[in-house]
């Protein structure tokens, strides 16, 4: 059995919660439930078998395929293909350019007695050799796709049409025997076929075409921030080996932090423009810090002299240095906070930070100085104006402008062990908004405690207590740390203090009751008090939390009432089963075995597991 708070020996619902978190991480990192599914092309060998012609058809692409759609896109009589993918490129057009003398017939159907789109109509084409082809008009075709509603038949060279039979959805049947090949027909139910055009009538290219190799395509992703997100501390190593901060809090200027690599061609173009437009940037009160990521690669041979030489070539007049691992990790976590898809940052990547250390914009790819200058001007506007300007077109907003929670980013910094960055992050959050961060600040203080930095831990614990004097999370966290040290007396005092601050705190009641019922040291146990605390927790939780029912079961076992203990553990097992808490269920079943043998529950671990 276990507790539910910070000192819980067994994480409650860890199986389900952990699986959910892992699934979310899986998806956010661009993974797929069914990945690596390339598009395939099969040829009917007309002997009951098919041949894989994917490579010959140039479909052997590194795509995670999803859908295909067929259409005579260029009106030349043969079928072209659109394919969509989970990964990029998410859409491909494959033009059929196979040279041959084959023929085709195409039909566009319209119902009168049937539904107007003639969905469900079946066409049977018989050629001059007696061979039949059968096709059905469908509203959708395959997974996430719909091919053209035009029915397309292909015929070998030299063959003619013997008969076309159309079975309309209304039940009527029509046949025609005098159709010519290489024609596009309009078939209206109950009327004679009408030739619309020749099937092979290639359309001329127009100016309104898809972007090609000769088109200028914007490759930079620009993300404007309207949420006043504090940028984590970004420390880099200057070329003279001194450690510096990329920007200072409450400075007199904005800062553009640029990540580049010596081998990156777009990076060099960007650095050259930044150098050429230095006067414009300074006039806009913006400094630039360019940091090289090459030395982070263990296989890189790039030195500080190489970096200096590259920047001197561009006459780069701003601050420069070498990126630290912490800087890159902090920017990656900032990216993950902004985007639901957590892909690695490219080079170049830049962030524009305002005078207060808040994010103005993030740029993935080479950014133009004019874009930076525009965003600097935009940063001086109110949040609602910035939001309006961030959209590609005007309109009305469906939802009011709310502030984004900073909890996920702070928690990620703590989990990544970037404690100095997390500490700096907390200090730059406005006082009123810190109220929502109290549990995360307690986690940060606990992390400092675990790393031996008691001064920082105490500072953050005090921040929490100043903001909410009755908040029990501080004492619960300290109790967990004291138990880890084996100091049960001090842990008990923290539990007592937590209950003094918040007498009805279920976590404090449960954790302290578990300690009093199960600790290996007899002097630490108090069965009667444990029953009292756990019973109160069960009442407050309305008997819906199986872990707390299990704690009360352990408390009754400690006072020798094994009959009541068994009843409670059975109730806990039933609730855990109904809630799908697999890991907890396993623990409760083991607890039941001990109770059946009239053995009290003992937690021999000095630390939470």
Question: DSSP letter string over 426-462?
Answer: HHTS-HHHHGGGHHHHHHHHHHHHHTT-HHHHHHHHH
Q: Which residue has the higher pLDDT, 250 or 231?
A: 231
**Overall average pLDDT of the 236-257 stretch:** 86
Q: Which CATH number fits domain 231-380: 1.10.10.60, 3.40.30.10, 3.30.1380.20, 3.40.190.10?
A: 3.40.30.10
Residues in a beta bridge with 42: 52
Model confidence over 451-491: pLDDT tens digits?
989 899 989 998 998 898 888 999 999 898 888 888 999 99
Contact 460, 445 (CB under 8 A): yes
| Mean pLDDT to the nearest integer, 212-240 | 79
Greater pLDDT, 354 or 28 = 354
- Tell me, what's the pLDDT at 205? 55
Of 260 and 397, the structure prediction assigns the larger pLDDT to: 260
**Band of residue 605 on the pLDDT scale cut at 50, 70, 90:** low
Mean pLDDT for 69-96 is: 90
CATH number listed for the domain at residues 470-596: 1.25.40.10
Q: pLDDT, tens digit, for every residue of 341-355?
A: 888 999 999 999 999
pTM over 0.85: no
| H-run or E-run covering 479 | helix 473-485
204 confidence band (pLDDT: 50, 70, 90): low
* Residue 609 clears pLDDT 70, i.e. is over it: no
Residue 122 has φ and ψ, to the nearest 5°, of -115, 130
Beta-strand relationship, 122-127 and 132-136: antiparallel
The residues, ordered by sequence, that sit 6+ positions from 314 with a Cβ below 8 Å of its Cβ are 268, 271, 272, 275
- pLDDT, residue 237, reads 94
Whether the predicted pLDDT of 544 surpasses 60:
yes
pLDDT exceeds 80 at position 550: yes
DSSP 378: H
Q: Residue 288 above 70 pLDDT?
A: yes
| Cα(206)–Cα(447) distance, integer angstroms | 63
Of residues 133 and 214, more confidently modeled: 133
Higher-scoring residue by pLDDT: 5, 262: 262
Mean pLDDT rounded to a whole number for the chain = 88
Question: Which of 29-33, 133-137, 331-335, 561-565 has the weakest average pLDDT?
Answer: 29-33
pLDDT at position 202, please? 63
Question: Tokens for 183?
Answer: 């024609």
What number of CA atoms fall less than 13 Å from residue 411's CA on the CB side?
Answer: 11
Query: According to the model, what pLDDT value does residue 145 have?
Result: 83
Q: How confident is the model at residue 24 (pLDDT cuts 50, 70, 90)?
A: confident
**Domain 231-380 matches domain 470-596 at the CATH topology level:** no
Classify 103-198 by CATH class: mainly beta
pLDDT of 32 > 80? The answer is no
pLDDT, tens digit (0-9, with 9 covering 90-100), for 88-128? 788 999 998 888 889 999 999 999 999 999 999 999 999 99
Which residue matches tokens 């300290």? 478
Most confident of 198-202, 345-349, 398-402, 423-427: 345-349
Share of the chain above pLDDT 70, in %: 92
Q: Which residue has the higher pLDDT, 272 or 341?
A: 272
Whole-angstrom distance, CA of residue 154 vs CA of residue 139: 21
Q: Is 378 exposed, middle or buried (0-12, 13-18, 19+ CB in 10 A)?
A: middle
**128-142 average pLDDT score:** 90
∠ CA 176-181-185 to the nearest 5 degrees? 60
pLDDT at 201: 66
Task: pLDDT band for 226, please (50, 70, 90 cuts).
Answer: confident
| Domain residue extents for the chain | 42-94, 103-198, 231-380, 470-596
Query: In b/e form, how buried is each residue of 329-349, taking b as 16+ CB within 10 angstroms?
Result: bbbbbbbbbeeeebeebebbb
Predicted confidence band at 382 (pLDDT cuts at 50, 70, 90)?
confident
Q: Is omega for the bond preceding 348 within 30 degrees of 0, making it cis?
A: yes
| Structure tokens, 407 | 């909890």
Q: Where are the alpha helices (DSSP H) in 292-368?
A: 304-313, 325-338
pLDDT over 70 at 207, yes or no = no
pLDDT tops 60 at residue 11? no
CA separation for the pair 118, 98 (Å, rounded): 32
Position 250 scores a pLDDT of: 64
Say which residues have a Cβ less than 8 Å from residue 454's Cβ, sequence separation at least 6: 448
The predicted-structure confidence for 408-457, as pLDDT tens digits, reads as follows: 899 999 999 999 999 989 988 877 778 889 999 999 999 999 898 989 99
CB 484 within 8 A of CB 494: no
Dist CA 228 CA 371 (whole Å): 19
User: Cα(569)–Cα(577) distance, rounded to whole angstroms?
Assistant: 12
Neighbours of 562 (CB within 10 A): 18
What does the alpha-carbon distance between residue 5 and residue 9 come to, in Å, rounded to a whole number? 9
At residue 608, does pLDDT exceed 90? no
**CB-based burial, 304-316: b 16+ in 10 Å, e otherwise:** beebeebbeebeb
Query: Would the pLDDT of 231 be above 70?
Result: yes
Average pLDDT over residues 569-585: 93
DSSP assignment, residue 162?
E
Phi, psi for 363 (deg, rounded to 5): -125, 125
**Widest pairwise Cα distance in the chain:** 103
Question: Residues 501-528: pLDDT tens digits?
Answer: 999 999 999 999 999 999 999 999 999 9
What is the model's pLDDT at position 210? 46
8-state DSSP, 294: G
**Segments of 189-238 assigned E as strands:** 194-198, 221-224, 235-238
Q: Is the peptide bond before 435 cis (omega within 30 degrees of 0)?
A: no
Whether the predicted pLDDT of 212 surpasses 70: no
Look up residue 328 and give its two tokens: 């890159």
H/E stretch holding 517 reads: helix 506-518
Is 17 a residue whose pLDDT tops 80? no
d(CA 559, CA 526): 9
DSSP three-state, residue 256:
strand
Q: Residue 183: beta bridge partners?
A: 105, 198
Determine which helix (DSSP H) or strand (DSSP E) holds 216, and give its type and residue range.
Answer: none
What are φ and ψ of residue 97, in 5° steps? -120, 20
Per-residue pLDDT averaged across 369-378, rounded? 95
């Amino acid at each position: 059995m276990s507790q539910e708070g910070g000192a819980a020996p067994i994480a409650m619902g860890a199986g389900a919660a952990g699986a959910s978190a892992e699934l979310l991480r899986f998806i956010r990192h661009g993974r797929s439930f069914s990945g690596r599914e390339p598009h395939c092309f099969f040829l009917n060998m007309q002997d009951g078998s098919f041949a894989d012609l994917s490579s010959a058809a140039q479909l052997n692409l590194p795509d995670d395929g999803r859908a295909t759609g067929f259409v005579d896109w260029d009106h030349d009589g043969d079928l072209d293909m659109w394919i969509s993918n989970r990964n990029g490129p998410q859409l491909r057009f494959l033009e059929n350019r196979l040279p041959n003398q084959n023929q085709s017939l195409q039909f566009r159907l319209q119902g009168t007695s049937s539904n107007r789109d003639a969905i469900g109509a079946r066409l049977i084409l018989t050629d001059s050799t007696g061979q039949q082809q059968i096709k059905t008009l469908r509203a959708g075709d395959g997974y996430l796709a719909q091919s053209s509603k035009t029915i397309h038949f292909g015929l070998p060279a030299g063959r003619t049409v013997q008969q076309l039979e159309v079975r309309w959805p209304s039940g009527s049947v029509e046949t025609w025997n005098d159709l010519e090949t290489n024609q596009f027909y309009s078939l209206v139910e109950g009327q004679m076929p009408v030739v619309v055009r020749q099937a092979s009538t290639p359309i001329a290219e127009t100016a309104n075409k898809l972007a090609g190799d000769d088109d200028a395509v914007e490759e930079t992703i620009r993300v404007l921030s309207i949420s006043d997100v504090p940028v984590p501390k970004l420390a880099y190593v200057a070329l003279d080996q001194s450690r510096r901060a990329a920007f200072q809090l409450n400075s007199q200027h904005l800062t553009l932090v640029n990540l580049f690599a010596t081998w990156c061609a777009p990076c060099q173009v960007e650095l050259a423009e930044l150098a050429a437009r230095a006067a414009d940037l300074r006039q806009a009160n913006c400094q630039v810090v360019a940091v090289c990521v090459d030395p982070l690669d263990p296989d890189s041979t790039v030195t500080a002299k190489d970096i200096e030489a590259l920047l001197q070539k561009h006459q780069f007049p701003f601050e420069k240095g070498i990126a630290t691992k912490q800087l890159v990790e902090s920017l990656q976590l900032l990216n993950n906070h902004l985007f639901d898809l957590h892909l690695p940052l490219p080079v170049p990547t830049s962030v524009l930070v305002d005078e207060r250390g808040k994010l103005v914009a993030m740029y993935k790819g080479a950014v133009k100085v004019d874009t930076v200058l525009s965003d600097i001007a935009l940063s001086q506007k109110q949040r609602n104006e910035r939001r309006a300007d961030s959209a590609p077109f005007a309109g009305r907003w469906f939802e009011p402008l709310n502030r984004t929670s900073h909890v996920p980013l702070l928690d990620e910094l703590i989990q990544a062990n970037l404690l100095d960055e997390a500490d700096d992050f907390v200090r730059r959050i406005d006082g009123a908004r810190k109220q929502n961060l109290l549990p995360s600040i307690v986690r940060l203080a606990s992390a400092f405690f675990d790393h031996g930095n008691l001064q920082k831990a105490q500072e953050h614990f005090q921040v929490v207590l100043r903001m909410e004097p009755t908040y029990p999370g501080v004492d619960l966290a300290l109790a967990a740390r004291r138990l880890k040290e084996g100091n049960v007396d001090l842990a008990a005092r923290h539990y007592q203090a937590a209950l003094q601050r918040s007498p009805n705190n279920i976590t404090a009641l449960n954790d302290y009751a578990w300690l009093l019922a199960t600790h290996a040291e007899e002097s630490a146990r108090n069965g009667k008090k444990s029953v009292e605390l756990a019973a109160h927790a069960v009442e407050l939780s309305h008997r819906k939390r199986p872990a707390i029912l299990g704690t009360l079961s352990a408390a009754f076992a400690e006072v020798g009432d094994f009959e009541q203990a068994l009843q409670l553990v059975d109730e806990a097992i039933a609730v855990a089963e109904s809630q799908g808490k697999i890991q907890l269920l396993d623990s409760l079943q083991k607890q039941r075995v001990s109770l059946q043998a009239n053995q009290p529950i003992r937690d021999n671990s000095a630390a939470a597991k």
